[in-house]
Chain A
């Protein structure tokens, strides 16, 4: 048995060039093969499975007593900062989100509170789901030229790719509201208009 695995190892080494490309990958493969061919028979005690069963029970019981201890501490208001569970109680306590996570869109505003978008249609053009619908209108300020009279995003279709944010030349659309739980009773309500998008 030992001889055979030695032979297998040498065989594997023939194909293995330690300086070649993918050297580390090959190394991992080799180790795995080595391990597999080196599998040993279980001895008598291991064959009864009792040691492993005990190990499993020990592991789960450890978790049980650890968590129980801290739950009891929490009841008395102690060690609140050490959690007794890895789960979040969702609607009351949402999971912390990554800063760069793409969440529901919002339209940013100028200092005077009007919409920042200039209706350039860049986002509507790039949107892979074709869920943005803009109707442009003339802006009273000749320097700005246009503004969106209507700005609808159908969140029922949106794939949250974030292309619209990337495409916007005016930083007028962002996906940083941290709102994920978007649910409505009708498809019509999933279409967010300018007002809803500007509210944040």
Chain B
């Protein structure tokens, strides 16, 4: 009973946090792009004269989406048309279940892993869910009885399948180094240190090439500029061209949730997840010889904090990329995916294998 309750609280908490971050991202996106382009950004929505730096635009957006007409085009497959946005957002959200947001919290003698679902194949599970997310895109394009939407759906399917292969191949290197698919174990393994204890054994330090490849492929997976070919605002508007109201809002949210998911995944795989440099389960051990004892609770809180700081950093990077680069052409996209990223990730696997055997 207790276990069920704990799991319930954990998953509800994760869901709330993710929704909160994704909602906040609409604001972050506006403000960050504004700052990058020397503008002020959205600041007109007020409540009783308070602007709160434009934060109320989030509520204004939701109100707008909810009050719009839900339009279903003639000749559309109603069932699939209504199903698609739910698929999109659901599969983006369930991926978070396997992401550890913190270490081991000891409560009344209970050891609780701060992870909604403690899977030993977490990584494969997340990848499976991300692949399922393609169905949302494909079905939306297929069911709306619109050529542009159809084109967007096809593009989306082709792009996401090609980049998924690269993604999986890129993290194979990380899996080989840490020898596990369990993300909690993977985070724990990244708590080791290299070079006399100065540099933590994070994925980004042991697998830099894999990190770059994964960053690129993951950016493509979020379907945002420079990889927004399924959407392509200026050419085909994309797979959700026929959607309006909150169903469009769901696709919009799914993109942002995926951005958070990708950022969280990169944090977990490459930046040690909830690891804080030099923080061990019983306090700080500095490489220059200092020691600062800490009990379990502050250590866990620090870990969760560090996880979210790293996630914010990756979200910031993804946003900066989105607002800096122009969109790829379709053939460039496929060239990049199949001719550069995939071979590079295969080479990375080979090199990693050789190095591991040598170090044995």
Question: Which residues from chain A sit less than 8 Å from chain B, CB to CB?
Answer: 53, 56-57, 59-61, 63-64, 67-68, 71, 84-87, 89
Contacts and interface: CB of A to CB of B under 8 A. Distances in A.
B324 A60 contact: yes
Given A53-B325, A56-B325, A63 B320 contact: no
Nearest to A50: B212
Interface stretch (B37-45, B77-85, B129-137, B170-178): B37-45
Interface string B320-345: 11011100000000000000000000
Sort A-B residue pairs by CB-CB distance and give the 5 closest, nearest first: A67-B35, A86-B38, A60-B36, A60-B324, A64-B36
A175 B232 CA distance: 47
A60 B40 contact: no
Interface of B: 32, 34-40, 43, 320-321, 323-325
Given A57-B320, A57-B321, A57-B324, A64 B35 contact: yes
B324 A87 contact: no
A85 B39 contact: yes
Q: Which of B36, B39, B43 has the most CB of A within 10 A?
A: B36
Nearest to B321: A57
Contacts of B321: 57
A71 B320 contact: no
A85 B40 contact: yes
Q: Is the interface of B mostly helix, strand, loop or mixed?
A: loop
Contacts of B325: 53, 56
A60 B37 CA distance: 7
Contact of B39 (A56, A60, A87): A87
A115 B324 CA distance: 58
A71 B35 contact: yes
Nearest to B212: A50
A64 B32 contact: yes
Given A67-B35, A86-B38, 18 more contacts: A53-B325, A56-B324, A56-B325, A57-B324, A59-B324, A60-B36, A60-B323, A61-B36, A63-B37, A64-B35, A67-B36, A71-B35, A85-B34, A85-B38, A85-B39, A86-B39, A87-B38, A89-B40
Q: Which of A60, A63, A64, A68 has the most CB of B within 10 A?
A: A64
A53 B40 CA distance: 25
A56 B325 CA distance: 8
22 contacts: A59-B324, A60-B36, A60-B320, A60-B323, A61-B320, A63-B35, A63-B38, A64-B36, A64-B320, A67-B35, A67-B36, A67-B38, A68-B35, A71-B35, A84-B35, A85-B39, A85-B40, A86-B38, A87-B38, A87-B39, A87-B40, A89-B43
Contacts of B324: 56-57, 59-60
Contacts of A86: 38-39
A64 to B, nearest CB: 5
B260 to A, nearest CB: 20
A67 B321 CA distance: 18
Contacts of A67: 35-36, 38
B218 to A, nearest CB: 16
A182 B35 CA distance: 31
Contacts of B35: 63-64, 67-68, 71, 84
A59 B37 CA distance: 10
B106 to A, nearest CB: 39
A86 B40 CA distance: 9
Q: Which of A53, A59, A85, A86 has the most CB of B within 10 A?
A: A85
